[in-house]
Chains A and B, each alone.
Chain A
């Protein structure tokens, strides 16, 4: 890249940033008589769609919207909702105790399918373009690391599995659980001298897990007439066997992310030799 090109580019970028900054501050300090909604004053957190996700009354809200029309949007919190008791409420429209999970996997599950694909395609790109660059700098591990990684590996694996199995009850879920599992394999790759990660098996597991996610969605499409619709009873809030397909999807995501990240880490170290 030529130097002049760079200077022009940075000048344009600086101008844009300054213009946008002026715009931003002007919006913050302008009196709110022109439009109703402002970023600083009058923000009503209860007037967001996520309110219904938290109260699990989306179906009620749909009926309310059809009945009242425009009036609904100004006053979302007037939609009737029932009290949810941990460990007691049964057969709600959405059964996970963890609110974030209920949004990520159920109400906006399609986005999560997209995010899984983003991770998938990123790992494909990384292994395709920069596979096998790390091996040169590998240092022989000490005795403590060798023993410790062997000892810790099963516990790390168990913890990862625990996180994604309890994704609908406690903070965490498929993505963190998978990352924990991958960190266990990373420890083995760094700590053991002649450890060979089975990339082929991991790829098979990853592919089948991804297929299962889409198939869960398709089962919903064929039985409940809507993609990613819940087709399993939701059960009691707070139990392990609850939340219907949410827990199932999180297990699948956990396995997929774990296999995927492990493959990525292993191929960064060893390069994809099977190609």
Chain B
């Protein structure tokens, strides 16, 4: 199997996106179907590639026949393809949901932008080149801003503007980091940087890491760069929020994992420490704790269901940052698993929230009292998603949080225990506000439905709920992939030799 054909995963969405304006002249509905079919193709193809990589080990795809440190390459490992598969899966489900909602005049452009955002997120998790990652982060952030602004209300413009400001500051910081890296090492290839990053002066290395932080923390919704989250999520349509939460933040967290650990990290004992003068692992743990605490406490005070879910999404990103900061393999496995669970459950929650909002015409949780009596199916699905996020036993979030706690306990320094207590306390708060919503839904009260819901919407949420339940009941389904994925982050030598060839260590 020629792995260079993996480029189809990026080339096909781009080609179809270029053609979407022509399809839009035929029919708006048709563009939605085209987006759905393209993403479905990507999902199936990435599953095939994942299957191949699991048996044959990580591979690279070369672009333009220029071998890696000189040209651009894709790195196809269990982690990249696993995350790409999740991204395409969530994209497929959301675009299927998107077919069902009422047509608006700008829908052809929206489905185009959606396709580009999902395609770019897939490219970020597969690329092996720093500047290439930057280009696709640009596409991702511009596309996300357009998606947020597409609701055509004052609030959504405000949210989009905030996201644009943060996104452009982040991008310019990222460009600084890339410039310094190229200026000192003379290369942009991730594997070569990983091989030679310890040659850089530690102070400068820390500076590069800090600058890089600015770029990816915006997408990953982590603390100093997440002030856009509440306004943007409130302003955007709920199904767009499913993309923001399930796809954009997944790509951001992948960039943190890959670049901070494999590229900027050095192996010390059983864990990876980020090279440089600063103890960046402790900073990441602190950032994770702050993000989680702020997110959960803010979610507690909100009445708007979109804002609650947005803050909850921020908090989960904090948990994953905490897992990355701990830096041993168990915690990292938990982090990747939690990323998967979060993408699926949060997409599910946002889609159900979209349907509820459409059905009763209000996003306030007080107006949802009695919704469970009115529409049992949706309320139960919402409860499944919420249980998955909280981590009730036999739902998917339980297993990933167990992994993270296990890893944190294995690290066993006073600071980790202190941080862990915060994470666990935050999980309690989270359980409280989710149970409050579920309790309100199943209260006995008569409500009147306003709008009908399209059957496609039911199918898409049911699909996601099935995944949540399957993973919860049978968590070892993915254990093989997850072990390979976290080992792929840890085995830096394997990353370098796969990309640059075995001879490089001579």
List residues of chain A with CB under 8 Å of any chain B CB. 9, 12, 16, 20, 23-24, 26-27, 30, 32, 34-39, 43, 47-50, 52-53, 58, 61-62, 65-70, 73, 76, 106-111, 113-115, 117-118, 120-122, 124-125, 128-129, 200, 203-204, 206-207, 210-211, 213-215, 217-218, 220-221, 224-230, 275
Q: Select one of B2, B71, B123 contacting A225, CB under 8 A.
A: B2
A227 and B506 contact, CB distance less than 8 A: no
The docked-state distance in angstroms from the alpha carbon of A108 to that of B69 is: 11
Sample of 7 A–B contacts (CB below 8 Å): A9-B227, A58-B66, A65-B501, A69-B504, A107-B71, A124-B112, A200-B25
Knowing that A220-B64, A229-B65 touch, tell me 8 more A-B residue pairs with CB under 8 angstroms.
A27-B207, A30-B203, A35-B205, A37-B199, A65-B500, A128-B106, A214-B18, A221-B4
Cβ contact within 8 Å between A32 and B201? yes
Residue of B nearest to A125 (CB): B146
Query: What distance in Å separates the Cβ of B89 from its nearest Cβ neighbour in chain A?
Result: 23
Contact residues on B (Cβ < 8 Å of other chain), bracket? 35 or more
Out of B14, B157, B501, name the residue touching A113 (CB < 8 Å): B14
A115 touches B15 (CB 8 A): no
Bound CA–CA A16/B169 (angstroms): 13
A76 and B184 CA atoms in complex are apart in Å by 14
Is B70 in contact with A49, judged by CB distance below 8 angstroms? yes
Whether the Cβ atoms of B14 and A70 lie closer than 8 Å is: no
Beta-carbon contact of A117 and B139 below 8 Å: yes
Please encode chain B, from 28 to 64, with 1 for each CB lying within 8 Å of some chain A CB and 0 for all others: 0000000000000000000000000000000001111
Determine the residue in chain B with the shortest Cβ distance to A120: B18
Please tell me if B121 contacts chain A, counting CB pairs below 8 Å.
no
Are the C-beta atoms of B113 and A226 separated by less than 8 Å?
no
Q: Which residues of A contact B25 (CB under 8 A)?
A: 200, 203
Determine whether the beta carbon of B15 is less than 8 Å from that of A128.
no
Complexed CA–CA distance, A113 and B139 (Å): 11
**B123: nearest chain-A partner, CB-CB:** A114
In the complex, chain A residues whose CB is within 8 Å of the CB of B192: 73
Determine whether the beta carbon of B18 is less than 8 Å from that of A35.
no
Contact check, B198 vs A35: say whether CB atoms are below 8 A apart: yes
B473 sits at the interface (CB 8 A): no
Known: A30-B203, A227-B4. A70 touches B505 (CB 8 A): yes
CB of B436 within 8 Å of the partner chain:
no
Q: How many Å lie between the Cα of A118 and that of B150 in the bound state?
A: 18
Cβ-defined partner of B72 (8 Å) among A39, A110, A115, A217: A110
B2, B15, B105, B185, most chain A CB atoms within 10 A: B15
Query: A109: which B residues are within 8 A, CB to CB?
Result: 63-64
Query: What residues of chain A lie closer than 8 Å to B62, measured between beta carbons?
Result: 226
Asked if B67 and A114 sit within 8 Å, CB to CB, the answer is: no
- Given known contacts A24-B207, A70-B505, A110-B132, is B21 in contact with A206 (CB within 8 Å)? yes
Partner of B135, one of A48, A111, A204, A225: A111
| Min CB–CB distance B180 → chain A (angstroms) | 7
List residues of chain B with CB within 8 A of the CB of A35. 198-202, 204-205
Find chain B residues with CB under 8 A from A39 CB.
Answer: 180, 183-184, 204
Contact between chains at B64 and A229 (CB < 8 Å): yes
Complex Cα distance, B65 from A234, in Å, reads 15
Question: Is B477 part of the binding interface, using a Cβ–Cβ cutoff of 8 Å?
Answer: no
Alpha-carbon distance A81/B363, docked complex (angstroms): 67
Structural contact, A37 and B14, CB atoms closer than 8 A: no
Question: Which residue of B19, B65, B139 has the most chain A CB atoms within 10 A of its CB atom?
Answer: B65
Cβ B63 vs Cβ A226 within 8 A: yes
